[in-house]
């Protein structure tokens, strides 16, 4: 078993395209940079990720509730949150090709190659715009095409659009840059319409948009993406923030390693440095995953104090205070925010699951059965034997009521197995002549290739156990 094979991003992209997980968007028109569509299998995988997140963090917790907020919100939301003023990345342009890059990414690449040329270590996370400009000039940092680049300037990532007004004029609105602000702007609604008491958290999943500068890391960084964000509100006088942050770190780790089955050796925590952290945050950690292109942020968790609610209270003129039901004390709660991109989870699970089984000469997607687009494949041994097809039909119909199941009757059984292995189907069920006699099927395991006979009556409970 070659567990150690490291796949390149191209390997992942190629499987994703070939088997219908992800397609470049608008490909018949030549595509659109940083934009992808999800194919039939990718759609199922995304739904599973989303549902598992919702189940673990919302449905099964007494202290959590969910929301579903708009992409278009009142534009003042983004002024209050600071996005209009300072939601930007440092942009540079190759002076010859005019391709655009993030200055911090070019510096990072330079440091990886030339850090020996520096008298003392430099961390790009600690650099502000002027430091980047100085560094690029001093060390003559070039673009990937070997050309000089322009001086870095702040490039705002918010997508601006407009809506018509009654008078026929247009007014500016923004496509949301994150889902979190919808939670803050509904804080008063939640207090007024539910019986929640601190500490409690609110989760929100949905599309966000950022006019990202970087290209070329597949679905890691796209213009349109899906976020799953939580704001966990608490009274800082009663709840210890360090412990709450630690609890959230543990919950995130548990979700990634246990629920999604990701290898711990590909995960690490990185604490933000004082310079890197937003001014209002007291502590921030990134849960990084070792992607084919290096260790990158998968999921961030930050203690944001009462900054956001205070900002919205000030800009809206509405009280966003919470009243303690026992003491009558009024105050603005503090928050801890765990924020993840569903598409980054998607790229991580594909990358982590890909396995070249050199012993059997096959490519396997060893996805956790919870994540697999199909939980089982049903095959009639021969498609020209009506009695086998009818028996297989029955098994399919019974299981499809409860699970995502796929049917395949093309080619020989060996090829069908290989085809299912590549898309991560954990179990193949073959209906053969023995089935007609004793109501058993062949249950073939994706990872070990082992085959056992299982009564049809037991399939449902076995599959249920497999995905629990």
Whether residue 427 contacts residue 450, with contact meaning beta carbons closer than 8 Å, is answered with: no
Q: Is 203 in the site for ligand ATP (CB under 6 A)?
A: no
Binding mask 264-303 for ligand ATP (x = CB under 6 A): ---------------------------------xxxx---
DSSP three-state, residue 361 = coil
Over the Cα atoms of the chain, what is R_g? 26
- 267/256 Cα distance (integer angstroms): 9
The terminus-to-terminus CA distance of the chain in angstroms comes to: 27
One of 69, 77, 179, 222 touching ligand ATP (CB under 6 A): 222
Assess contact for 199 and 244: CB atoms under 8 A.
yes
Q: Is 351 in the site for ligand ATP (CB under 6 A)?
A: no
Shortest separation between residue 102's beta carbon and ligand ATP, angstroms: 9
Question: Which position among 69, 244, 311, 343 is part of the footprint of ligand ATP (CB under 6 A)?
Answer: 343
To the nearest whole angstrom, how small is the minimum distance from the Cβ of residue 125 to ligand ATP? 10
373 binds ligand ATP (CB under 6 A): no
Q: Which is nearer to ligand ATP, 210 or 375 (CB)?
A: 210
Question: What does the per-residue mask of binding to ligand ATP show for 171-200, with x meaning CB under 6 A?
Answer: -------x----------------------
Residue 16 DSSP symbol: H
Positive or negative, the Cα torsion across 173, 183, 154, 98? negative
How wide is the angle at C-alpha 368 spanned by C-alphas 380 and 339, nearest 5°?
A: 140
Least distance (Å) between residue 260 CB and ligand ATP: 14
Q: What is the DSSP string of 402-414?
A: TS-EEE--SS-HH
Residue selected from 227, 305, 425, 430 as contacting ligand ATP according to rule CB under 6 A: 227
Residue 212: CB minimum distance to ligand ATP, A: 5
Q: Is 341 in the site for ligand ATP (CB under 6 A)?
A: yes
Give the interface segment with ligand ATP, choosing from 189-197, 251-259, 274-282, 335-343 (CB under 6 A).
Answer: 335-343
Considering the rule CB under 6 A, would residue 221 count as an interface residue with ligand ATP? yes
Chain mean position to CA 50: 9
Q: How far apart are CA 228 and CA 51, in angstroms?
A: 11
β-sheet bridge partners, residue 163:
171
Binding site for ligand ATP (CB under 6 A): 178, 210, 212, 221-222, 225, 227, 297-300, 339-341, 343-344
């Amino acid at each position: 078993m070659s567990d150690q094979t490291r796949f390149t991003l191209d390997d992942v992209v190629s499987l994703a395209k070939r088997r219908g997980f992800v397609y470049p968007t608008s490909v018949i028109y030549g595509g659109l940079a940083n934009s992808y569509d999800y194919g039939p299998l990718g759609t199922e995988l995304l739904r599973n990720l989303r549902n598992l997140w919702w189940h673990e963090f919302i449905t099964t917790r007494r202290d959590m509730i969910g929301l579903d907020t708009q992409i278009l919100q009142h534009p003042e939301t983004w002024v209050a949150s600071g996005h209009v003023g300072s939601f930007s990345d440092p942009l540079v342009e190759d002076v010859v090709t005019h391709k655009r890059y993030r200055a911090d990414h070019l510096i990072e690449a330079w440091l990886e190659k030339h850090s020996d040329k520096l008298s003392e270590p430099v961390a790009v996370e600690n650099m502000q715009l002027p430091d980047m400009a100085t560094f690029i000039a001093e060390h003559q940092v070039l673009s990937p095409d070997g050309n000089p680049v322009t001086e870095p300037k702040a490039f705002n990532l918010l997508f601006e659009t407009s809506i018509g007004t009654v008078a026929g004029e247009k007014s500016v609105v923004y496509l949301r840059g994150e889902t979190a602000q919808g939670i803050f702007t509904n804080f008063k609604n939640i207090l007024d319409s539910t019986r929640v008491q601190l500490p409690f958290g609110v989760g929100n999943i949905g599309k966000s948009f950022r006019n990202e500068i970087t290209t070329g890391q597949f679905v890691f960084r796209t213009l349109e993406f899906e976020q799953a964000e939580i704001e966990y509100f608490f009274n800082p006088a009663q709840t210890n923030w360090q412990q709450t942050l630690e609890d959230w770190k543990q919950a995130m780790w548990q979700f990634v390693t246990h629920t999604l089955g990701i290898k711990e050796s590909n995960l690490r925590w990185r604490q933000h440095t004082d310079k890197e952290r937003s001014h209002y945050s007291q502590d921030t950690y990134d849960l990084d995953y070792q992607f084919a292109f290096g260790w990158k942020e998968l999921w961030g968790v930050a203690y944001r104090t009462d900054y956001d609610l205070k900002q919205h209270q000030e800009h809206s003129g509405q009280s966003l205070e919470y009243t303690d039901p026992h003491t009558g004390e009024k105050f603005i709660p503090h928050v801890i925010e765990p924020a993840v991109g569903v598409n980054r989870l998607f790229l991580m699970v594909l990358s982590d699951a890909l396995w070249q089984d050199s012993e059997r000469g096959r490519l396997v997607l060893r996805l956790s059965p919870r994540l697999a687009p199909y939980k089982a494949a049903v095959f009639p041994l021969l498609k020209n034997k009506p009695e086998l097809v009818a028996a297989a039909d029955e098994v399919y119909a019974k299981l499809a009521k409860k699970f995502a199941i796929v049917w395949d009757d093309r080619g020989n059984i060996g090829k069908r197995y290989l085809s299912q292995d590549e898309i991560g189907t954990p179990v193949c069920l073959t209906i053969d002549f023995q089935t007609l006699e004793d109501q058993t099927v062949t249950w073939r395991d994706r990872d070990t290739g082992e085959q056992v006979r299982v009564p049809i009556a037991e399939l449902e409970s076995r599959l249920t156990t497999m995905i629990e």
